[in-house]
Amino acid sequence: MKFLEYAGIDAINSALVFETPECKVYGRLEPYSCKAAGADKKLYKQIEIKYDPSNSPPDEDGSGSSFRNIISPFGPLDQPASRRTLFYLIGTLNASFPDYDFSDAKPEQFRKEPSVSMVVNSVNATLLNHGNDRAVKELRIWDSIDNLIDFQDSDVYSYNPESDSDPNDEEGGGTLWSFNYFFFNRKLKRIIYFTMRGVSYGAPSEYDNDDFSDMSDDDTGFGRRRGGMRYEDYVVGEMDML
């Protein structure tokens, strides 16, 4: 997916990284055009092979038909349009996190959000709860996003991975909550990727860890397990503990 430059994005992105008394918040907004670049073509083929029923050889017991019935958050996967959406979302994740490969991400790790306004409210609530209303009130990020993506015509999807596949759940733990939203306008062929995460101050920073062996990140308990949840769920979890 091709990264789109947009005037004003930098200002927004700097406003989305800020400190609060309980954690440091890292957020970013990235607009992409759904144009397949180099490695994307390989990804597209992979997805087609995996989910397109006409590609699987006919089995005696008819088990090839099992994929025909996969209803995903994007619609039935035997429809090329649904597979395309999955391809765009995975491609966006791959572009946004160059050290990761989400090609094996499963459709059920994504969710189609019921409406744009609910997502907007949820994000605003999260920002407000962390004492940051600058992004919304002053910089008016939603106006910018609407200019780029036209909310009326867009679908919103979210990515909710397991903690071992979560790019927001860094080694060393400490990620208290995170979200990954994709604003997708099929007509304009554009996606805006909006991600944010809250990291606790107690967590060791990745620069402290001199031993880069991939085996050495261990489960620091709290931070790791909570990585993939949204702020609302994190707060409820905290309340349970009181």
Contact residues: other proteins, CB under 8 A: 98-102, 104-105, 161, 164-167, 212-215
Query: Structure tokens of 160?
Result: 């909710």
Q: How far is the CB of 151 from other proteins (least distance, A)?
A: 30
Ramachandran angles phi, psi of 116, nearest 5°: -65, -40
State in angstroms the smallest separation of the CB of 186 from other proteins: 26
Nearer to other proteins, 100 or 201 (CB): 100
Q: Radius of gyration over alpha carbons of the chain, in Å?
A: 19
Taking the least distance from each CB to other proteins, the nearer of 100 and 147 is: 100
Contact 105, 88 (CB under 8 A): no
Q: What is the distance between the alpha carbons of residues 113 and 49, in angstroms, rounded to a whole number? A: 27
User: Judged by CB, which is closer to other proteins: 114, or 212?
Assistant: 212
Give least dist CB 222 to other proteins, A.
Answer: 19
Which residue, 154, 99, 111, 133, is CA-closest to 18? Answer: 133
Closest CB 51 distance from other proteins, rounded Å: 16
For other proteins, give the closer residue by CB, 7 or 215.
215
**Tokens representing 120?**
């907007």
